Amino acid sequence: MMNAYCIVLFFQLLSLTGSSESGIVGGRVAKPHSRPYMASLRVAAQHKCGGILIRKDFVLTAAHCKQSDMTVVLGAHNISKKEKSQQLIKVAEFHPHPNYTGKYDYDIMLLKLENSATLNKYVKAIGLPKKNGKIPANIDCAVAGWGKTGANEPSSDVLKETTEKMQFSFECKKIWAEYFNSHHMICTKFSKKKGGICQGDSGGPLICNSKPQGITAFTRRSDCNDPKYPHVFTKIHFFLPWIKKLMIG
């Protein structure tokens, strides 16, 4: 069985990082509030996952991030501080995809917020991609998240970001086999120097040409920074009809 690892909170004790809160490996500190759509999902005041604000009352994230009594933090740069820009809003409703089974496929979830966010220069919703938009291979896309910068590295409380390159689906299928569904997933290649997503960045976005194309799903369990194993994301535009139907309802 392949050594795949869904970045799942209840598997955190099995993670060789020893924590569910590891994050972008390598990369750089993001310019404060340059990604005003970014959300930090907290449980008991601890960052657990990322997400993106897609409407003032809805956040998009990964289904495996679901935990009870979750709070969404918007407008944050340094999540260890109580910044004036931050808005903390409780999750009123969890909507994991109905076909999600706790494994790898259909790993997407909508969070309905208890109160609508106040949109300003620190908090903005990001537009969704078009239904049939194609994402060419080999273009650079951005990823962002909070947390550790490596297995034995200290946590970064500030938002970090880096770029990863779109990979051909057939190349990902060849490596990930049954774990990769090319209809519902996209994947990226990356260098060890630039790094990329790791455990705890789940639910955060893959941004290509200023649009969110993917939701961070899984990496290789034993080493998220092994370039032989592409990083995998849930393909957002496949799920647009489901997302829009939920938001209308």
| Residues involved in catalysis | 64, 107, 202
SS (H, E, C) the chain: CCCEEECCHHHHHHCCCCCCCECCEECEECCCCCCCCEEEEEECCEEEEEEEEEECCEEEECHHHCCCCEEEEECCCECCCCCCCCEEEEEEEEEECCCCCCCCCCCCEEEEECCCCCCCCCCCCCCCCCCCCCCCCCCEEEEEEEEECCCCCCEEEEEEEEEEEECCHHHHHHHHHHHCCCCCEEEEECCCCCEECCCCCCCCEEEECCEEEEEEEEEECCCCCCCCCCEEEEEHHHHHHHHHHHHHC
Query: What is the distance between the alpha carbons of residues 62 and 100, in angstroms, rounded to a whole number?
Result: 10
Cβ–Cβ under 8 Å, residues 61 and 48: no
Cβ–Cβ under 8 Å, residues 50 and 146: yes
